């Protein structure tokens, strides 16, 4: 994990956790209890936004999908972290509006903190 990005990643993680809770999505553990893959994924997303500040949420989502697929994740209607199944492994345009807004939130937080 990129320790230089960790403070920003922690803020992003907390925001995603709050967003999920506010929108009746799955419970996301606090940073200290999150699995390594989840922390790494957040750091990778933060790095992408920093390196590509004008790329937009669609590009950020494509980066996230490519990273997930490289780790063996596949599309499934139900999320299952143990089986590496995720319903958001679809193009950005096919995401529910709430997920698109979450990607916008992530980018905005990173850009505000750098």
pLDDT tens per residue, range 28-43 = 999 999 999 999 999 9
CA 95, 59, 68, 24 dihedral sign is negative
pLDDT at 104: 93
CA 89, 92, 94, 97 dihedral sign is positive
Instruction: Indicate the pLDDT class of residue 1, thresholds 50, 70 and 90.
Output: low
Report field, pTM of the whole predicted structure over 0.85: yes
For the chain, the first-to-last Cα distance in angstroms comes to 18
Percent of the chain whose pLDDT exceeds 70: 98
* Arithmetic mean of pLDDT over the chain: 94
Distance CA 65, CA 32 (A): 24
Mean pLDDT over residues 42-70, rounded? 93
């Amino acid at each position: 994990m990129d320790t230089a990005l960790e403070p920003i990643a922690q803020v992003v993680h907390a925001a995603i956790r709050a967003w999920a809770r506010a929108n009746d999505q799955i419970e996301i553990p606090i940073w200290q209890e999150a699995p390594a893959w989840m922390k790494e994924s957040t750091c990778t997303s933060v790095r992408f936004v920093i390196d590509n500040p004008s790329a937009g949420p669609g590009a950020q989502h494509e980066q996230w999908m490519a990273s997930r697929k490289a780790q063996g994740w596949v599309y499934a209607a139900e999320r299952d972290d143990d089986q590496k199944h995720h319903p958001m492994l679809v193009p950005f345009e096919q995401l529910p509006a709430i997920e698109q807004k979450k990607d916008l939130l992530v980018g905005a937080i990173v850009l505000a903190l750098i």
